[in-house]
Amino acid sequence: MVIEGRVYRFGDDVDTDQIVPGRYLELVRPEDIALHVMEGADPGFSARFVPGSVIVAGRNFGCGSSREHAPIGLRAAGVSCVVAESFGRIFYRNAINVGLPILKCDRIRSAVAEGDTVIVDLAAGTVSVPKRQEVLQGERPSDRVIRLLECGGLVNYVRERIGSGEAKPVPVE
């Protein structure tokens, strides 16, 4: 999976309350959640965001609450990938389960600026920044994670396996 997009950049410890504030947790339809995504960190984000773009963040992105609304909203808003220096554990699992590409990559936040274009090669775990002629090596996701993302998430994956008579959720950590 290779993803190219413009960067929207955030800092450290963007928790899931900032990604989808608590007052919107009653929402269920992904497109409704998407209207409020990142509202706690940047209130104008969803109006400004160009679908297909990439979110780059510092450490511990998605820490806090287990709300799956966070990756569901990001994906429905058209976020093509989240690259961060580290992730909250539950968010990381949830993102893969809902088919939101996600990559852990040290130093990414200081290596790119808002508006840069990056090319993320998920299978290789790399992020290239053409403007700066730099390629950063992130943590290559396991083959299982890649397969899950290619399926579009855990729902499709389990559905396929229920169909084949071997239903089991798959590891993503």
Partner 1 sequence: MHALEKILANASGQAVVEAGQTVSARVDLAEVNDLYLQVLISFREMGAEKVWDPSRVVFAMDHYAPAPTIKSAANQKVMREFCASHGIEHFFDINSGVCHQIMVEAGLVRPGMVIVETDSHTTTLGALGAFGTGCGATDMAGILATGEMWMRVPEVIRVTYEGSVPEGVMGKDLALYTLGQLGTEIAGYKAIEYSGEAVLNLPLADKMTLCNMAVEMGAKTSYIQPTPDVLEYVRARTGQEPRPVFTDPDFRYHEEHRMWIEGMEPQVACPSRVDNVYGVTQVEGERVDQAVIGTCAGGRLEDLEVAARILAGKRVNKNCRLIVVPASTEILRRAIDLGYVQSLIDAGAVLASPGCGPCLGAHQGVLAAGERCISASSRNFPGRMGSNQAEIFIASPATVAASAIEGRVADPRKNL
Which chain residues interact with partner 1 by CB under 8 A?
13, 15, 17-18, 21-23, 25-28, 39-41, 43, 59-60, 63-69, 71-72, 86-90, 93-94, 97-98, 153-155, 158-159, 162-163, 167-173
Angle subtended by helix axes 143-151 and 89-97, to nearest 10: 50
In eight-state DSSP terms, residue 153 is S
CB of 170 to partner 1, least distance (A): 6
HSE of 82 in the Cβ direction (CA atoms, 13 Å)? 34
**Based on CB atoms, which residue is closest to partner 1, 5 or 153?**
153
CB of 159 to partner 1, least distance (A): 5
**Based on CB atoms, which residue is closest to partner 1, 67 or 109?**
67
CB of 80 to partner 1, least distance (A): 20
CB of 106 to partner 1, least distance (A): 13
**Based on CB atoms, which residue is closest to partner 1, 32 or 116?**
32
CB 40 within 8 Å of CB 46: no
Distances (CA, A) of 160 to 27, 54, 122, 167, 170: 28, 29, 23, 8, 12
CB of 132 to partner 1, least distance (A): 27
Q: Is 111 left (phi over 0), alpha (psi -120 to 50) or beta?
A: alpha
**Based on CB atoms, which residue is closest to partner 1, 4 or 15?**
15
Residue with tokens 């990381």: 92
**Based on CB atoms, which residue is closest to partner 1, 15 or 121?**
15
